[in-house]
Amino acid sequence: MPRTRSDIEKAAGKLIAAIQKEWTMEMGTPTSGTSEQVMHTSHSLLQAAKAQGSITSVVGSASVAAFLGAAWVQAHPNVLPYIRALEVAERSTHG
């Protein structure tokens, strides 16, 4: 029987997909390397969500945007709704 993903895992997965979309659109440009690094970094959020049910061990007291890189997030506002959803899922899990 397949394992049911928690809300925080789903939110982390959706954030990764949004970041990957940004990276894909930038492929071949000078900024694609940074976006690729952010995408790899974001996987640690999903790993923490799966292992611990929380992303706090990864981001600490920082925001998800700060963890990913505030300048990158500011340059890629399409990911903001997914960051917010992940932060809401974290709060509702560990309110």
- Any domain includes 35: yes
Q: For the chain, what percent of residues have pLDDT higher than 90?
A: 83
Predicted TM-score (pTM) of the model is: 0.91
- Any domain includes 54: yes
Spatial CA neighbour of 56 closest among 11, 91, 10: 91
- Any domain includes 59: yes
Q: Is the predicted pLDDT of residue 1 greater than 70, yes or no?
A: no
- Any domain includes 1: no
User: Tokens in use for 51?
Assistant: 């292992």
Number of domains in the chain: 1
Domain span at 47? 7-94
- Any domain includes 2: no
Q: Output the pLDDT for position 94.
A: 67
pLDDT, mean over the chain: 92
Model confidence band, residue 5 (pLDDT cutoffs 50, 70, 90) = confident
Query: What angle do the packed helices 32-52 and 7-26 form, to 10 degrees?
Result: 170
